[in-house]
Amino acid sequence: MSTDPGSTPSASTPCRPDARFQVAIIGGGPAGLAAAEALLRGGAQVDLYDAMPSVGRKFLLAGKGGLNLTHSEPLEAFTARYAGRVAQVAPWLSALPPQALRDWAAGLGISTFVGSSGRVFPAEMKAAPLLRAWLHRLRAAGLRLHMRHQWQGWQPGDPPTLLRFDTPTGLQQQQAHAVLLALGGASWARLGSDGAWVAHLAGQGVDVAPLQPSNCGFDVGWSPYFAQRFAGAPMKSVRLRFEDGQGPAFDRPGEFVITASGIEGSLVYAASARLRDAIARQGQATLQLDLLPGRSLAQLATALAKGRGARSLPNHLKEHAGLDGVKAALLREQLSGDQLAALVATAPQDLAQRLKAWPVTVVAPRPIDEAISTAGGVRFDAIDGRGMLRALPGVFVAGEMVDWEAPTGGYLLNACFASGAAAARGLLAWQAAGGLPNPTPNA
């Protein structure tokens, strides 16, 4: 079986590149590279352009945390993570499900393992070895890389497949038979994903949903004391619940981190799309934290009702409720010492209920450049069934610049790979059906 992320079982060996069919890919992230591999295998001559000095900058950054390549859960549950875009993303994933992506990595000499959370990582917990092996294979297959090429969009009257780049040696112009854009979103602009492509496509009549932060932190507005004392503190062993009337409540255990301005981290990222959208509708959103998920309401109320004796209030909360550190300090963001002491003395049941659903109001997502990924992008209505822009014949799109989003946990990367491969297959099918544009590309 082939180990190319864009291949089919019948295409197990590369075809000879055909100089008469030249494809330009703009963007050297996972989607662009996966598209390049599928196109090379399909017989195209592929030139890949990127504004940065090297490809895969954001991919390598993700690898600093171990490179969460995909997830081991069954495909049906995996696909459900794409929420409102399940129908559009499912065909990509059916062609490149998690196990196929692991098999592809193994074909590059990179073994993977399943972590305790079900997430899949390279055995070396690094992105660089995988990227090096992948680029070696792509170059051997004929991929031509052009770095420090900043795409400048189209001038009036340009055919869609005529490309202009700002380069270290000045403005360059390239003509291809087809173009595949894999330019990412708008987070981490310093790594190349700056969203500049939005204006280029919108100017050509392509419908683009506004880019928004996804998998992001949120502002709360802590008191100066809390912000200074607890910024960076992990909020461990909690359960986050959020109900917005837009479907089943979000309700999941996990942990996150207090920041100087609010909250961030894996549990917050998982709820970020719904929190962000609720803020857009209402101006703010209030989530509830179960600060002590290991104790039932009855157990907690009984513990709080025990007499304090000579113990201070903080010691009482720590010894009988297991509440201290950042969790105890969080209470003081909303209750004075006297109010808290009164609840312990006269209404332990009420306090227990609050601790099982402690409200935290978020007022804004953090800026898009701080986000792990972005939502929004080219709307699916603007793309045909092959991944080609309806307004720009011969131009295909893939990856994060398309209007879908997913939580962290391997879902983002797997879909980026799968999207790039799917767009490449669509491009090859378009070419096979006689869809070549008129201009003759550069030799």
Confidence label for 437 from pLDDT (cuts 50, 70 and 90): low
In this predicted structure, what is the pLDDT of residue 242? 97
| 35 and 155 co-located in one domain | yes
Q: How confident is the model at residue 1 (pLDDT cuts 50, 70, 90)?
A: very low
Q: Rounded CA gap, 210 and 11, in Å?
A: 38
Q: Do 175 and 228 have their domain in common?
A: no
Q: Are residues 380 and 414 in the same domain?
A: yes
The reported pLDDT for the residue numbered 426 is 98
Is there a domain that residue 26 lies in? yes
Q: Which residue has 């719904």 as its token pair?
A: 274
**What integer pLDDT is reported at residue 6 of this predicted model?**
54
What are the DSSP E strand ranges found in 306-394?
358-362, 364-365, 373-378
Tell me which DSSP letter residue 83 carries.
G
Residue 126 belongs to domain with CATH number: 3.50.50.60
148: left (phi over 0), alpha (psi -120 to 50) or beta: left
- Among residues 365, 385, 413, the one where a domain terminates is 365
Identify the band that residue 345 occupies on the pLDDT scale cut at 50, 70 and 90. Answer: confident
Clarify whether residues 222 and 195 are in a common domain: no
> Rounded mean pLDDT of 109-123?
95
State phi, psi for 52 to the nearest 5 degrees: -90, 170
Q: State mean pLDDT over 202-221.
A: 97
Q: What is the DSSP string of 208-223?
A: EEEEEEES--EE----
From the CB of residue 152, how many other CB atoms can be counted at a distance below 10 Å?
A: 15
Give the domain-ending residue among 341, 365, 389.
365
Domain that holds residue 295: 218-365
Domain termination site, one of 335, 365, 395: 365
**DSSP state for residue 46 in the 8-state scheme:** E
C-beta atoms surrounding 293 within 10 Å: 14
Are 116 and 92 in a shared domain?
Answer: yes
Q: State mean pLDDT over 182-206.
A: 92
Average pLDDT, the chain: 91
Q: What is the mean pLDDT of residues 373-402?
A: 97
Q: Are residues 173 and 191 in the same domain?
A: yes
Is 150 in the same domain as 263? Answer: no
Q: For residues 292 and 320, what is the distance between their CA atoms, to the nearest angstrom?
A: 12
Q: Determine the residue type at 437.
A: P
Express as a percent the part of the chain with pLDDT over 70: 93
- Phi/psi class of residue 377: alpha, beta or left (left: φ > 0; alpha: ψ in -120 to 50)? left
Task: Say how many domains are in the chain.
Answer: 2
Would you say residue 182 has pLDDT above 70?
yes
pLDDT, average across residues 123-129: 92
Q: Give the pLDDT score at 313.
A: 86
CA–CA separation, 289 and 292 (whole Å): 9
Residue 247 and residue 121 share a domain:
no
Output 209 or 57, whichever has higher pLDDT: 209
Strands 44-49, 18-26: parallel, antiparallel or unpaired by DSSP?
parallel
Q: Over 70: is that where the pLDDT of 259 sits?
A: yes
**Average pLDDT value for residue range 179-202:** 92
